[in-house]
Chain A
Amino acid sequence: MSGSHAAASETAPRRGVIRFVRRLWRKSSIAGLAVYALALGGALGLASADWATSGGYPFGGVQVGAWTAWPRAGAANADPYTRAVNARRGEIPLAVGEGLLLTAAVDDAGQALDATCTYRIGGGTPPARAWTITVAGRGPREPGRPILREGFTSTEVLRSADGRFAVMLAPDVQPGNWLPSPRASGPVRLALRLYDTPAAASVGSLDRASVPAITRLGCAS
Chain B
Amino acid sequence: MRLVSLRFVYATLIGLVLAGIVHIVAVLAIPVLSEKDAVSRARTSESLDHPQPIYTVATGDDPSPPEAWLPIPDPAVAVGVCAYDLADGPMRVSARTGSLALSLAAHARRGAFYAVTDQAAVRGALDLVILTRAQYDEALADDENDPSRDVRIVAPDTRGFVVVRVIAGLPSQRPAANAAIQAVSCTTDTATDDAPTGKDSSGKGAGR
Contact = CB atoms under 8 A, between A and B. Distances in A.
Nearest to B118: A196
Contact of A96 (B11, B115, B170): B115
Interface residues of A, number: 60
Interface string B19-41: 11111011110110010111001
A129 B169 contact: no
Given A38-B18, A78-B111, A90-B69, A84 B27 contact: yes
Contacts of B36: 87-90
Interface in A21-58: 25-26, 28, 33-34, 36-46, 48-50, 52-53
A116 B116 CA distance: 41
A71 interface: no
A56 to B, nearest CB: 10
Contacts of A125: none
A25 B8 CA distance: 10
Interface string A73-102: 011111011011011111111111111000
A132 interface: yes
Contacts of B25: 45
Contacts of B26: 45-46, 49-50
Given A53-B27, A153-B169, A196-B101, A41 B21 contact: yes
B71 A90 contact: yes
Contact of A41 (B4, B15, B107): B15
Interface string A153-190: 11110000000000000000000000000000000000
A125 to B, nearest CB: 14
A26 B22 contact: no
Contacts of B47: none
Contacts of B8: 33
Contacts of B105: 74, 94-95, 97-98
Interface in A121-162: 129-130, 132, 134, 136, 147, 150-151, 153-156
A19 to B, nearest CB: 13
* Closest A-B pairs by Cβ, 7 of them: A41-B18, A45-B22, A155-B169, A97-B115, A40-B15, A95-B112, A44-B19
Interface of A: 25-26, 28, 33-34, 36-46, 48-50, 52-53, 74-78, 80-81, 83-84, 86-99, 129-130, 132, 134, 136, 147, 150-151, 153-156, 191, 193, 195-196
